[in-house]
Amino acid sequence: MQLDVFTLVPHAFAWLTEQRPVATVLGNELDLRLFAYRDFTPLRAGQIDDEPYGGGAGMVLRVDVVAAALDAVYGEAPAHRVVALTPTGRQLRQAEVEELAVEDSLTLLSARFEGFDERVVQHLASDAISMGPYVLSNGDLPAMVLVDAIARRLPGAIKTESGAFESFSVALDGGLEYPHYTRPSEFRGWRVPEVLLSGDHGRIAEWRRTQSRARSIG
């Protein structure tokens, strides 16, 4: 997948690119490109934002600046999906991650300050996605969340079994994963459920299914 992120601070993504699973798929299944709006702005002195029409606090990321950046990189309107990261978008769920992870190309737009000029969302983006009903200072953390969530769905990113049996997976009917335990089997009187120590794989599988269902409806 060709995954492009437009941001004010490309260097913020350095940490992410060193972490698994992103690091694992970088250069093979994932080609991650980071673009700075400032490198493409047609305005003087690297200007990318402006005061809001109608007044009010904060600065707004200009539509002409975002358009110039997209034009410079793609030449014309991208044929693939362009996701604006904004708290006003639809909230990200695993189903959308799966959907985005099978795209050949994808562009993420991150903003700061008061956010995008609305015409970015309306005319330059195909999707608007929110990380949840809260406001973060910028779209870079949301972009990193999305890159990570997509990267772990790409071939070879994680062990197939880990990806198949996890929260929100089809194998668990879209529900939550069952609890995990490891050594010691008893700590401060807190014992690991007996069934997990039994070696009876049929009972263990049944216990896990029951736990997963109970958590998912609870």
Ligand X SMILES: C[S@@+](CC[C@H](N)C(=O)[O-])C[C@H]1O[C@@H](n2cnc3c(N)ncnc32)[C@H](O)[C@@H]1O
Look up residue 99 and give its two tokens. Answer: 């959907």
Task: Give exposure, 183-215, as e/b (b: 16+ Cβ within 10 Å).
Answer: eeeeeeeeebeeebeeeeeeebeebbeebbeee
Tell me the closest approach of the beta carbon of residue 125 to ligand X, in angstroms. 11
Strands 49-50, 127-130: pairing kind = unpaired
Is residue 87 a contact point for ligand X (CB under 6 A)? yes
- List 71, 103, 114, 166, residue binding ligand X (CB under 6 A): 114
For ligand X, give the closer residue by CB, 41 or 110.
110
For ligand X, give the closer residue by CB, 7 or 212.
7
Is residue 138 a contact point for ligand X (CB under 6 A)? yes
Q: Indicate the residue type of 11.
A: H
For ligand X, give the closer residue by CB, 101 or 117.
117
Tell me the closest approach of the beta carbon of residue 88 to ligand X, in angstroms. 5
Contacts to ligand X from residues 169-198, by CB under 6 A:
none
Crossing angle (nearest 10°) for helices 94-101 and 140-151: 70
Look up residue 144 and give its two tokens. Answer: 């990193």
Is residue 7 a contact point for ligand X (CB under 6 A)? no
Is residue 130 a contact point for ligand X (CB under 6 A)? yes
Which single residue is written with the structure tokens 């599988």? 205
Q: Which residues bind ligand X (CB under 6 A)?
A: 85-88, 110-112, 114-116, 130-132, 134-139, 142
